[in-house]
Amino acid sequence: MRERIVFVTSNPHKFREVKAILEEHGIEVEHSQLAIVEIQAMRMEEIASAKAKSAYGMVHRGVMVEDDALAIDVLNGFPGPYSSYVFKTIGNEGIIRLMYSIKDRRASFISVVAYCYDDGVEPVIFVGKVDGMIAESVKGYGWGYDPIFIPKGSSRTYAEMGDDKNKVSHRRLALEQFAKWLRER
């Protein structure tokens, strides 16, 4: 049977990437732009899990949410759970300024997928993490933090990688685990 899930996100770029990856596994993804109140918490898993549960309460079908965070080592993991707010306020230029003259540019991009499929059942959670570096300047045309994140082993930012990003991304790592879980359950 072909799986069909609902993915709740306000971000069309995320939807496009998720759809492409899950379709490779024969999973159909329906986009929902339901507004879900996000709780404030330090742990991404907690935020994503709460979001998936409230989404299930509204759609009553297998529903997925995905939360991402950019975590900069020298800033103790900042912006982490505040990645969305920081992007809207200081953006990529602001991050580059914060990192001015800092030599240790290590960072990671984290994706947390939460899937809720029944009432009273805790959502399943899958985490993908890619280590990398913050670029010296904004490079390439991409969405979100793509123009400033260089995954380990690459000389290009996610934005400069074009479609290759989706082959190695933090999102891909989390979704591959999710697809395996769906297949085996």
The catalytic site residues sit at 67
The residue from 3, 11, 90, 127 that contacts ligand ITT (CB under 6 A) is: 11
Q: Is 160 in the site for ligand ITT (CB under 6 A)?
A: no
CB of 154 to ligand ITT, least distance (A): 14
92 counts as binding ligand ITT under rule CB under 6 A: no
Q: Which range binds ligand ITT by CB under 6 A, 18-26, 80-88, 99-107, 131-139?
A: 80-88
Nearby residues of 66 by Cβ (< 8 Å), 6 or more positions away: 7, 9, 14, 18, 48, 111, 112, 113, 114, 171, 174
Query: Which of 59, 61, 84, 177 forms a contact with ligand ITT (CB under 6 A)?
Result: 84
Q: How far is the CB of 183 from ligand ITT (least distance, A)?
A: 24
Q: Which of residues 12-51 bind ligand ITT (CB under 6 A)?
A: 14
Nearest to 171 by CA among 11, 1, 43: 11
Residue 171 binds ligand ITT, judged by CB under 6 A: yes
Give phi and psi for 31, each to the nearest 5: -85, 130
Binding stretches for ligand ITT (CB under 6 A) = 9-11, 14, 67-68, 83-84, 87, 143-146, 158, 169, 171
